Chains A and B, each alone.
Chain A
């Protein structure tokens, strides 16, 4: 199997606070994890690629000082949304890569729904 968990599944916070989301690969080691954001009825948008033991690679237009990513181990990556604002409200989904080279698959966590008031 390939199970990826995310915590919390849902969070509501006040504007200006920071929110941390955890992503764990439960039954495999993932050297690479990915963070996506998805607005209602819109496509997945890759925010950043997280590699264990090194700095994350952010996609163009994603503020790295606002979305802090830490890939502390082969099974855990965290995304911290700092000083959250209502426009950050979205569905945040992580995924973890299993396998090597071209023969690898990405498995998604269940997602975290963030609402900033």
Chain B
């Protein structure tokens, strides 16, 4: 079982719709969760951090965390073509006594004009 799992996609949504990106993780002791956006040929950019159960909203983005289910998601409202990118889920846990962030393989999002 992978430590952080994401559907590779592509996930295609029409412009203006809500895009829902999902991620599951295996380490129940994980405390910090992140979503990164990576455009083709560019490095990842941090867009959301979430540390406690529930929802966290920032503009058109909402991160949702459910530690009991080991599940974290990212909702993008009013999706725009410029949101087309690969979205990486990252989970921070303890590995061998030190902090380690593990990345999922990413979900490719395509927003269709």
Contact = CB atoms under 8 A, between A and B. Distances in A.
Nearest to A113: B41
Interface string A17-36: 00000000000000010100
Interface in A82-117: 91, 93, 95, 97, 101-111
A105 B43 contact: no
A44 interface: yes
A110 B43 contact: yes
Given A43-B106, A102-B32, A102-B92, A110 B42 contact: yes
Contact of B51 (A2, A103, A110): A103
Interface string A32-73: 101000000001101001000000000000000000000000
B88 A44 contact: yes
Contacts of B112: none
A26 B70 CA distance: 34
Given A43-B105, A44-B103, A104 B46 contact: no
Interface of A: 2, 32, 34, 43-44, 46, 49, 91, 93, 95, 97, 101-111
